[in-house]
């Protein structure tokens, strides 16, 4: 459906509601943000299995750990800043270390939070979460992928960090034919001159950039890496070997996120020149999301310009 836009946080809420019907052991926790994280969608359908912990994220992660020990599957939800940021140590020690079956639904990741500004724009969460041993880190690109990711996370045994956005983003996947598998990247467009590796809302921007590049005579391959950990090494190495140049694109710091993960793989297995596009080593600011995406250089036009310079 061309032109349709949905925020992946909406997809999260909708998926939880659907899964709640299917799986009786699914419990949703929130920290006074149910309306924003969209767990309110689940709450309306299953008020008894939706627990508001109040504004106390560290405790919420601990409660999720405790619930998981009893064999239930908790989804703990808040903004990325307060999940990966504030509650980092609780996630690391009470969930990661005992490898408990807790799913963390982190919404409002990245600068597309918009007007709330730097305090709420988490550009560091992928870096923080992927260094925890045993943690799976997923950053879906659109509604179709997000819903599939939530169910895959439920079915996966072990902690999962799911990264969602506040901003409505284009639906780029076809619901009928789409298949999600944790740890398997998806080649959206084949090409021979350069590989664009993107995640989250940057996937649609990368696709658009690839079309612009085509007009300039540059044939770009576009890969969607929805699972940042474990990352699809095989796919990355094969593509890098083919094109010889790799660009990573993410709504996250250029340090430690997708760019870091891809560089770690290619640096040892297939060293090629790489360019990391993302939020440079800086904090965000208040402003409409679309303007920020432009200003911070992760929109299709900026990507196109940077890739042209790089190739």
Count each helix (H run) and each strand (E run) in the chain, helices first: 13, 14
**Contact yes or no for 84/121 (Cβ under 8 A):** no
Cα–Cα distance for residue pair 245/211, rounded to 1 Å = 18
Mask 22-41, x = binds another protein (CB under 8 A)? -----x--x-xxxxx---x-
Q: Which is nearer to another protein, 85 or 297 (CB)?
A: 85
Residue 86 as a binder of another protein (CB under 8 A): the answer is: yes
Q: Which is nearer to another protein, 32 or 193 (CB)?
A: 32
Tell me the three state secondary structure of residue 102: coil
Residue 292 as a binder of another protein (CB under 8 A): the answer is: yes
**Contact yes or no for 11/140 (Cβ under 8 A):** yes
Residue 288 as a binder of another protein (CB under 8 A): the answer is: yes
Residue 66 as a binder of another protein (CB under 8 A): the answer is: yes
Cα–Cα distance for residue pair 211/155, rounded to 1 Å = 36
Is residue 115 flagged as an active site residue? no
What values do phi and psi take at 64, rounded to 5?
Answer: -60, -40
Q: Which of 10, 21, 57, 291 is catalytic?
A: 57
Q: Which is nearer to another protein, 164 or 180 (CB)?
A: 164
Cα–Cα distance for residue pair 190/239, rounded to 1 Å = 9
Q: Which of 63, 146, 194, 223 binds another protein (CB under 8 A)?
A: 63
189: CB partners within 8 A, 6+ apart:
207, 210, 220, 221, 222
Q: Which of 6, 118, 131, 238 binds another protein (CB under 8 A)?
A: 118
- Could you list the residues that contact another protein (CB under 8 A)? 27, 30, 32-36, 40, 48-49, 51-72, 74, 81-82, 85-86, 89-90, 93-94, 97-99, 115-120, 285-288, 291-292, 295
Enumerate the active-site residues.
57
């Amino acid at each position: 459906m061309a032109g349709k836009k949905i925020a992946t946080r909406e997809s999260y809420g909708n998926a939880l509601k659907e899964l709640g019907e299917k799986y009786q052991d699914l419990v949703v926790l929130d920290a006074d943000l149910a309306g924003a994280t969209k767990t309110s969608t689940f709450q309306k359908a299953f008020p008894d299995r939706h627990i508001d912990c109040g504004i106390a994220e560290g405790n919420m992660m601990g409660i999720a750990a405790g619930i998981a020990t009893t064999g239930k599957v908790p989804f703990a939800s808040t903004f990325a800043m307060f999940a990966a940021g504030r509650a980092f140590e609780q996630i690391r020690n009470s969930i990661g270390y005992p490898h408990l079956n807790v799913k963390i639904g982190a919404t409002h990741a990245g600068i597309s939070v918009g007007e709330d500004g730097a305090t709420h724009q988490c550009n560091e969460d992928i870096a923080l979460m992927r260094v925890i041993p045993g943690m799976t880190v997923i950053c879906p690109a659109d509604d179709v992928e997000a819903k599939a990711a939530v169910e895959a996370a439920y079915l996966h045994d072990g902690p999962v960090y799911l990264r969602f956005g506040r901003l409505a983003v284009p639906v780029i996947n076809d619901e009928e034919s789409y298949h999600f598998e944790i740890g398997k990247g998806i080649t959206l467009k084949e090409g021979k001159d350069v590989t664009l590796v993107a995640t989250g809302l940057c996937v649609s921007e990368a696709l658009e950039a690839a079309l612009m590049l085509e007009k300039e005579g540059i044939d770009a391959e576009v890969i969607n890496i929805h699972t940042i950990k474990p990352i699809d090494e095989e796919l990355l190495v094969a593509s890098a070997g083919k094109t010889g140049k790799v660009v990573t694109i993410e709504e996250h710091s250029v340090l430690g996120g997708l760019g870091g993960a891809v560089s770690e793989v290619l640096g040892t297995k297939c060293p090629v020149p790489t360019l990391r596009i993302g939020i440079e080593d800086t904090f965000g600011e208040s402003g409409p999301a679309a303007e920020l995406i432009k200003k911070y250089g992760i929109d299709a036009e900026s990507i196109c310009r940077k890739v042209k310079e790089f190739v």
